A and B are shown apart, each in its own frame.
Chain A
Amino acid sequence: MPYPVFKDNREFIKALEVNNDLVTIQQEVDWDLELGAIVRRVCEKKSASPYFKKIKDYPGFEALGAPLATYKRLAIAMGMNPDASVPEISNEYVRRTTQEPVHPILVEKKKAPCKENIWLNKDADLLKLPGPMVHDGDGGRYLATWHFVVSKDPETASINWGMYRQMVFDEKTMVGPVLPFSDMGKMFYGKYVPKNKPMPFATVIGCDPLSGVAACAPSPIPEDQFAGMLMGRPVELVKCETCDLQVPAHAEIIIEGEVLPNIKIEEAPFGEYTGYRTSPREPRTVYRIKAITFRNNPIMTVSNMGIPTDEGQLLRSFSLGLEMRKLLESQGIPITGVYMLPESTHHLVVVGVKPAYSGIASQIANLVFGSKLSPWFTMVVVVDHETDIYSKDDVIHALCTKCHPSRGIRKYEQAPGTPLYPFADPEERKWSRGSQVLFDCTFPLDWPESDLPIKVSFNNVYPKEVREKVLKNWKSYGFKD
């Protein structure tokens, strides 16, 4: 069943405007830091998305900033009530993504807006696109901050869409980290590099919002099908100009080329999702381009990684947490939910569980730390079913009162990590080594009932009739809330 979602970025922009979640900026804005500074402030203040109509030096190009940096925008993208709660959005996301995969369909080039303009060979010049200098001190202009890279497994033909940041090096070259445990990393370093073969790629900028969400999701389902599941209808794809990859027909800008197996060049530093500029400038994966295709008056999409909350933090937290929820439910663990706080820059996951047996928190930690999701987070907080996992107040209270400072904390050493961890030492960053920790915030089952601390709250320590009386008379007592 199709959901009331958007076929492209332009329909989504209109929906943001209708929902008073868009600021259209008519005055010219400089791609060199000014645009990035606006988007950064928007993320920090949780303001409406900025829609830039005039970009200095680049007439005809526009940009949308912070396209999905709030749950409200995610709800709008999903075609839901903009005021839907996080649990409501989560449940709907899980419902849609546990049904049958929806395969994409191929459309003719003449029906694909992303083919309205085609730059090939010498005309394909990355610096003719308004890639912003996002933060002062970045290693270059990042054309791809809210986008995805399409690649194909040479053996299985499986398609991958993933968000791999890309810095413009020169007219024909982009560079960025492709971590070896990522889907594209396993494909490129495991199957193309050993044969010294370049890997075709296509970077998609300004896609419909749910294709972007799908590209962020660490699901085992190919993202071009996952996006269809979120939309309730097939994604329309079109064939690339220079290779057999397929890209969303309604995207704003497509960059085609090859990932080179035999060379690395320096990339970074960059303001990253952790809120720091952490990973070092070092030799990274090289993309050489062959073609650029784009819609008339293309609209770039620009995310600005930094302190919370940007879309990387919000959507990665959202989808990582929900993939963990699916994993734990598939194993029959009696969880009440999983929530990853965006403010933790998806480093901390909260799992609610009915403590049905001893060691359940360790079992949860072993499962999630043992999954392919694990390099992206470091802390698991397991709380009981009476704790509201979506409430920071509740979770902090449980963490500080139920987690034994010695017995309740278990460390997991020698785990895979990323070079982006601000707390890691230089050697750990260099080798992507991590550590992880479990905070068990459940009371042990072997404590006698008479020894169990009783939570003291309005809902817990007053009889029902007293609570009802207080609630009924609340305003008459003089309270306004």
Chain B
Amino acid sequence: MPFLQYLRLADTMARMALRADAARYFLGYIWWVLEPLLWVGVFYLVFVVLLDSREPNFMIFLATGKLAFVWFSKTVSQAGNSIVNGKGLVGKISVPMTLFPMSVVQESLYRQIAVFIMLTALLVNDGYTITPTWWYLAPLIAVYYVLIVACSFIGACLVCIARDFAQLISLGVMFLLFMSGIFWDVRTLGDPEKTQLVLNLNPLCFILDAFRQIMMFNTPPDMVHLAAIGAGFGLLLLVMVVLMRVGAQYLALKALTA
């Protein structure tokens, strides 16, 4: 299948899934905005009203981290089951196995656009301004996207090989929620060396911090570090594409028989 046709197909599958999803709920597409809004509402209730947080912008800090993280967490957890859930199709047509996680990736990409727009509105509403530094969001989002696609492909294969991985993925995503500096600031760990260590070891932590640096503090991210993450996950993605092509029939057998 030509690459362009592949992308078209993944995209159509994603749009159809979104359309079906919207048709299922009374509020339809409104959920796209409502869900992140509810998150922010809870943050406001807990950190501003109940805990009376000392830091004035803590709620924005939290919302930026969490709403950027949601893209990763939702995509990877959903993509993990994509081949297994697509079992009905797997047994009938011979399409690239990557199509299944890829359509999930596209689906959540569309949802995330709404989330980012909401986040921007929230920031502007709170007195932050959109500056030229925001252009750095383009490479940042591109690298983040590559990371998400690579992780989604890996997850989909693992769950296909053994269903148990689905449990590990949902646990892993939860662990990453706590380890990636969403509720705490990686820059206030006290020891700069420790900060650097965490940023080096956890690419997700670096990316979430970069979102805050750009959107809240008008500071460009470390582009070399960002490029390194992009190259690393780009390579991983390439390896996964090759593996999933070579092992397509093995994955199909696994999906159909387990």
The yes or no verdict on A and B being binding partners is no
